[in-house]
Amino acid sequence: MAKAHRSARGPRPSSIARVPGIDYAELDAMFGYALRRAQIAAFEAFARASDGIGITPPRFTALVILQTNPGISQSVLGDVLGTARSGAMLLTDWLEHRGLAERRHRPDDGRAWGLYLTPKGGRVVETLRRRVRQQDKRFAARLGGRERRELLRLLEKLAA
Amino acid sequence: MAKAHRSARGPRPSSIARVPGIDYAELDAMFGYALRRAQIAAFEAFARASDGIGITPPRFTALVILQTNPGISQSVLGDVLGTARSGAMLLTDWLEHRGLAERRHRPDDGRAWGLYLTPKGGRVVETLRRRVRQQDKRFAARLGGRERRELLRLLEKLAA
DNA sequence: TATTGTTATACTCTATAACTATA
DNA sequence: TATAGTTATAGAGTATAACAATA
Q: Which of A9-23, B66-80, B88-102, B142-156 has the lowest mean pLDDT?
A: A9-23
Q: How far is the CA of B111 from the C1' of C20 (A)?
A: 10
- Distance, in Å, from the CA atom of A78 to the CA atom of B58, rounded to the nearest integer, reads 27
Q: What is the pLDDT of residues A123-156, one digit of tens each?
A: 999 999 999 999 999 999 999 999 999 999 999 9
Q: How many whole angstroms separate alpha carbon A105 and alpha carbon B16?
A: 28
Q: Evaluate whether A58 touches A64 at the Cβ level (below 8 Å).
A: no
| Residues in A 120-139 with any Cβ partner in B closer than 8 A | 129, 132-133, 136, 139
Instruction: Provide the whole-model pTM.
Output: 0.90
d(CA A67, CA B77): 43
Do B25 and A147 lie within an 8 Å CB cutoff?
no
Chain D footprint bases within 7 A of protein beta carbons: 2-9, 12-17, 21-23
- Asked if pLDDT for residue B81 goes beyond 50, the answer is yes
Q: Assign B98 to helix, strand or coil.
A: coil
Burial level of B63, CB count in 10 A (0-12/13-18/19+)? buried
